[in-house]
Amino acid sequence: MPKRMLAPLDQIEPRRICVIKPSALGDVVQALPVLAGLRARWPAADIAWVINRSLAELLAGHPELDRVLEFDRAGRALGRVARAASLSTELRRARFDLTIDLQGLLRSGFMTLATWAPRRVGMNTAREGARLAYTDTINVPTEMPAVERYWLVAKALGCPGSPPTPKLGIRQSDHAWAALRLASLPRPVLMIHPGARWETKRWPPKHFAELARRARQSFGAGVVLVGAPDDLHRCATIAAALEGNCVNLAGQAGLLQLAALCAAADVFLSGDTGPMHMAAAVGTPVVGVFTCTSTTRAGPYGAGHRVVATGVSCAASYLKMCPTLACMQELGADRVWPALVATLGEAVERARARAAI
């Protein structure tokens, strides 16, 4: 029998849609414009998102989502297998018409296949055999911003235009929490996130501390430090180098509280981290310090941001470990300071313009 022809993706009318993007924080934030596009394209559809439990708060109560399906990777191997089997059953019972894999790895490929959806969409950049789970593969370039790469999938599904501004579902209580923590700081507020999961992304605390000291001296800036529990020591080191006008909130903020802090700050300074993309998503100007990753692929998306990259020969190598970390010395505070000056200066000018209205 001849193989049944599938309708073009931009002509399908799914009633139940599953987005699979379990991690990481920055990648999930950069994929959110796809959710907005899907909701605009199919306003009556039931849309679910599969995400790691540690990040589920980011999507809880999101106005464009109907369901959040949590995937828990923690614990012993046997427990993980049992939870994966339970999730597979849940995915199959949901009877999705369309599944979109934006992760592109073996695990997400299995999840995609487990939905039994008649249309299963992924990208040609998928690895570990995930493409075998797809009925439709979208060709996307590697060297382009992640937001635009994900949006090419949305465009293939008939979503028009450019990537819309993502929504993070920040609650009023989160804004109030952030405002209270920053109330003692003078403006402009410089938020610093010194941590990263990869060793090769962790710019030394001494460099962040030097920039914070200069920002206070030149602009009278207040400084707020944020980070995960793993960043407590790095944030404490920076705080110890400063005197006054510094609030250390490392390990204290939930994901939506962190997003509210980003929205309340005037400038955000960090390496290539998830919170950097969160700050860009809420419209806070970012100064990004790039060592082992590509500014094209991983830079903050949108206008008003600045990135400073290392000039060593192995720049953007995407190595998680390095025996020399030569980039951390080559890319010092002096090289990043002009970008921070320009961004803080713009923040001061915006504040003056608002005050004059």
Query: Considering the entire predicted model, what is its pTM?
Result: 0.94
Q: Does one domain contain both 130 and 208?
A: no
Domain enclosing residue 306, as ranges: 172-356
Mean pLDDT (the chain, rounded): 94
For 154-161, what is the mean pLDDT? 97
- Looking at the fold, whether 289 and 224 belong to one and the same domain comes out as yes
- Tell me, yes or no, whether 145 and 193 share the same domain: no
pLDDT(86) > 80:
yes
Residue 314 is assigned to a structural domain of this protein? yes
For tokens 């990753």, what's the residue?
293
266, 347 contact by CB (below 8 A):
yes
The pLDDT of residue 256 is: 97
Whether the CB-CB separation of 304 and 287 falls below 8 Å is answered with no
User: 38 with 90, same domain?
Assistant: yes
Positive or negative torsion for Cα 350, 272, 238, 334 = negative
Residue 241 counted as domain residue: yes
**What are the distances in angstroms from CA 135 to CA 6, 10, 62, 153?**
9, 14, 29, 13
Q: In CATH, what number is assigned to the domain containing residue 78?
A: 3.40.50.2000
Cβ–Cβ < 8 Å for 25, 162: no
Per-residue pLDDT, averaged over 278-288, amounts to 98
Residues 266/284, Cβ–Cβ less than 8 Å: yes
Same domain, 209 and 138: no
* 329 and 211 inside one domain: yes
Asked whether the predicted pLDDT for residue 5 surpasses 90, the reply is: no
Could you tell me how far CA 275 lies from the centroid of its own chain? 6
Task: Indicate if the pLDDT at residue 79 is higher than 80.
Answer: no
Q: What is the pLDDT of residue 74?
A: 62
Q: Do 205 and 298 have their domain in common?
A: yes
pLDDT in tens, 187-236: 999 999 999 999 999 999 999 999 999 999 999 999 999 999 999 999 99
Question: For 307-331, what is the mean pLDDT?
Answer: 94
Q: Are residues 72 and 117 in the same domain?
A: yes
Q: Give the mean pLDDT of 333-347.
A: 98
Residue 80 has pLDDT above 80, yes or no: no
Rounded Cα distance, 180 and 257, in Å: 11
Residue 193 and residue 100 in one domain: no
pLDDT one-digit tens code per residue, 344-356: 999 999 999 998 8
